A and B are shown apart, each in its own frame.
Chain A
Amino acid sequence: MRLQAIDVKLGYGDRTIVNGLDLGIEAGTVTTIIGPNGCGKSTLLRALGRLLKPMGGQVLLDGKRIDQTATKEVAKILGILPQAPTAPEGLTVADLVARGRHPHQSWYRQWSSDDESAVAEALDMTGLLDLAERPLDELSGGQRQRAWISMALAQGTDLLLLDEPTTFLDLAHQVEVLELVRRLHGQAGRTIVMVLHDLNLAARYADRLVAMRDGRVVAAGAPHEVLTEELLLQVFDLDAKVIPDPVAGTPLVVPIGTRHLPDRGTAAKETVST
């Protein structure tokens, strides 16, 4: 187990979002957390990446309590890409990616040859070498997302947590980012944990799915075990057909309608009348 959440209680202020959750992330797997909005998936990911301190329970990184490990040491093992990250205005791609070397630097070790090669490699792997000198705000959404992933790569960790890395991207760019994730996994056997919204892409690019609802893990396992018609109803209140993806053979969700509202017929009338 690379990462383990044991009986964690998570929330912000007085609000508890996750209560008594257990989850283990195995080495060398791509795990994707799915679930409806507000189910606590990002909260869980933030706790796994020590961005959020649990109110109860504990998170273990390689068997050691993450909150008792120096945050700089954690940063050498685990890289996290937050949801919708922000960078200072006018920052270039190269500057952003170089920032990923922060945990390896100190005042007498500001820019080693290791830093230089790690940044070059990260830029190369994400196909950004030609854009290195461009300001981040001039890039397209997909390029910018690749730049952030590149920064996490430059950090040189074999454990990566990505919070909705495909938000705001069109389908082609979503696929591009997820193929990059798959490549990163394939090249060095990196362990990757992601939060994704698109169930079909999640099924295609993950080894393991974790389905959450109301702060609990409802199901966890291989995509074809988790992504069933019963589960979709249970987790998303979604009536759907699940058929094999004609390209990858992974489960493909074809929605029929939701059961969020008690009666679809009257709900539709109400919307019309208001």
Chain B
Amino acid sequence: MNAKTAARSVARPLRVSTMSWLLRPRALLVALTSAAALFLLMALNMRIGDIPMTLADVVAATFGDTQNTFIIMELRLPRALAGALIGAALALSGAITQAIARNPLASPDVLGVTQGASVTVVAAIVFSGTAYGGASGLLATLGIPVLGLLGGLAGAVIVYAFAWRRGLEGYRLVLVGIGIAAVFTNLKYWLLTVGDVHDSSRAMVWITGSLHARGWEHVVPVALALAVLLPAALLGTRSLGALRFGDDTVTGLGVRMNRARSAMLLIAVLLAAVATASAGPVAFVALAAPQIALRLAGTAQPPLVVSALVGAVLTAGADLVARTLFSPAELPVGVVTAVLGAPYLIYLLVRIRRERRT
């Protein structure tokens, strides 16, 4: 084998005068396939509802003006989009967190975001039951996402403050994150037990992660966050690759380590906080999607765009299952993401180990 192909076997260089990029054909293929799967899953999701529709009805109503257009545009499309975007944001956040923590088992859960949001929302529902109940629906839709966002960010600040010691170190971050998540989790359960039964059960649905009745007001914040933060994350991809090495190696390669790490961490926190604010803490997507993307694309680190697409597919697929399995009853999507994602990740791990052996 000659050194030219040896140096980067999974990537092809594309060079225009002094500029050069790396193209990864396999990652590109996985991205396109995931995008196609995502559209199909979203369309299948949009068939479901009080008025049954065929796939053709859905497509016609989305891109044209039919009798179903109002239902599609105001109810079903926002819900499907919310699922896809939340999945993408969580997966992207997970991919960044895993790179910074140098640990494939890390997820935004260790950044304090999900548990911080959960405690805040549960506290709000339990302590001011009626204010967030059915009677004042407007407050419910406006209040809970904003509270979730603030709680998530506060949780992240607490973890960051405890994890920082003359710099930011991955292992310390994970340990501090796990500790603080445990405190938040217990606080959350305590709130659930002292709260009124009806309030607690409503809080339970939120902290499992649900896409039920998600509308444009849930889609827009996540879409905006992704529009700003995805390009920012992509600009940081190269330093993210370097951050997987030991601290001295990272600095030796000319990366401003603490600045790069803090900036990428901020992106991960914001993505997770916004996604959690919209749908509650949807479990497992942030953990599994980057690892699934990594194995499908055959790259050395979770590819950011592919991770986001896989996260969207996983969430959209989980929502479809959640709505059809016990139809017309509906499961919270967070229950299904874990049940769906875990076996698939295990399957990929087993298959790749077998490939290596043969």
A149 part of interface (Cβ distance < 8 Å): no
Give per-residue flags for B16-29: 1 if the beta carbon is below 8 A from chain A beta carbons, else 0.
00111110000000
A interface secondary structure, majority: mixed
Q: Which B-chain residue is minimally distant from A148 (CB atoms)? A: B249
| Interface of B toward A, CB cutoff 8 Å | 1, 3-4, 6-9, 11, 13, 15, 18-22, 102, 166, 234-235, 237-238, 241-242, 244-246, 248-249, 251-256, 300-301
Q: CB < 8 Å: which of A51, A109, A119, A155 contacts B20? A: A109
CB contacts (< 8 Å) of B245 on chain A: these are: 85-88, 99
Give min CB distance, B10 to chain A, whole Å: 9
Residue pair A71, B300 in contact (C-beta under 8 Å):
no
B interface secondary structure, majority: mixed
Q: CB < 8 Å: which of A80, A88, A90, A124 contacts B252? A: A80
CB contacts (< 8 Å) of B256 on chain A: these are: 71
Residue pair A129, B6 in contact (C-beta under 8 Å):
yes
Q: Which A-chain residue is minimally distant from B252 (CB atoms)? A: A80
Contact size class for A?
35 or more
**Given A120-B3, A132-B6, A133-B6, A86 contacting B300 (CB threshold 8 A):** no
Residue pair B238, A109 in contact (C-beta under 8 Å):
no
In the complex, besides A102-B254, A105-B238, A123-B3, 20 extra interface pairs with C-beta distance below 8 angstroms are: A46-B248, A71-B256, A80-B252, A82-B248, A85-B246, A88-B245, A90-B300, A99-B245, A103-B253, A106-B238, A108-B19, A108-B21, A109-B19, A110-B21, A110-B22, A113-B20, A116-B7, A119-B7, A124-B3, A133-B1
11 residue pairs from A and B, CB less than 8 Å apart: A70-B254, A94-B7, A95-B8, A106-B238, A107-B238, A108-B19, A113-B20, A115-B20, A116-B13, A132-B1, A155-B253
Residue pair B251, A91 in contact (C-beta under 8 Å):
no
Q: CB < 8 Å: which of B13, B166, B237, B254 contacts A75? A: B254
CB contacts (< 8 Å) of B254 on chain A: these are: 70-76, 102-103
Residue pair A94, B300 in contact (C-beta under 8 Å):
no
Q: Which A-chain residue is minimally distant from B259 (CB atoms)? A: A71
A49 part of interface (Cβ distance < 8 Å): yes
CB contacts (< 8 Å) of B300 on chain A: these are: 88, 90-91, 95
Residue pair B9, A94 in contact (C-beta under 8 Å):
yes
CB contacts (< 8 Å) of A108 on chain B: these are: 19-21
Q: Across chains A and B, which 7 residue pairs bring their CB atoms closest together, nearest first?
A: A75-B254, A82-B248, A120-B3, A72-B254, A132-B6, A103-B254, A80-B252
A50 part of interface (Cβ distance < 8 Å): yes
A217 part of interface (Cβ distance < 8 Å): no
**Given A111-B21, A112-B18, A129-B3, A82 contacting B252 (CB threshold 8 A):** yes
A100 to B8, CA, bound (A): 13
A152 to B252, CA, bound (A): 9
Give min CB distance, B281 to chain A, whole Å: 28
A121 to B246, CA, bound (A): 25
Give min CB distance, A260 to chain B, whole Å: 30
Give min CB distance, A38 to chain B, whole Å: 19
A98 part of interface (Cβ distance < 8 Å): yes
A79 part of interface (Cβ distance < 8 Å): yes
A41 to B244, CA, bound (A): 27
Give min CB distance, A251 to chain B, whole Å: 32
CB contacts (< 8 Å) of B235 on chain A: these are: 107
